[in-house]
Amino acid sequence: MITGINYKMDVMLAHANGETVEFREKKKGLLSSEGYWRIIENKGFGAWDWKHDDYRIEPKLIFIPFSREDIPLDVPVWVRSKKGFNNQNSRDKLIVSIGNSGIYLGVPDVHTQAGGANKDYNFIRFSRLKDCYDISFNGGKSYVPAHKLAN
């Protein structure tokens, strides 16, 4: 755990500014229940015990769209609309081609049609795939969100 003075000041200032800060007791053993991060609930908290506890600013999960390299070419890959996005047309759709900026579906998708005049009616950009679709890499048996975590 980083414990330099600048790190400690950053954590304490973040807490003072209303950001979520977590703490954990320093582990005493591999099987100890200690060591799990917990949120500091008390906004007036001021008893920093750096000798016995670790502190950190709560990490933010950042989701980024898949890229061409994230979608395998050797297995059938299916997509479907997430709940809340066009449920009447949430049937599974097979990805038939992968471009540099998105995917092509085997059947028309109403999310991508622009009044029926769009010649690329079955194209979905990776950014839209992240927000509106789930993806299956096992033939539609199970689905996961169509995004990955940033490092």
Instruction: Give pLDDT tens digits for 48-69.
Output: 888 888 889 998 888 898 888 9
Does residue 144 sit in the same domain as residue 114?
yes
Question: Rounded to the nearest 5 degrees, what angle is found at the Cα of 46, between the Cα atoms of 21 and 4?
Answer: 60
The pTM score is: 0.57
Strands in the chain per DSSP E: 21-25, 38-39, 53-57, 63-65, 78-81, 93-98, 102-105, 123-125, 133-136, 144-145, 147-149
Q: Domain check: are 124 and 79 in the same one?
A: yes
Give how many domains the chain has, as a whole number: 2
pLDDT single digits (tens) 72-99? 888 888 888 876 555 445 567 887 888 8
Residues 43 and 105 in one domain: no
Are 48 and 84 in the same domain?
Answer: no
Domain holding 35, by residue range, is 5-57
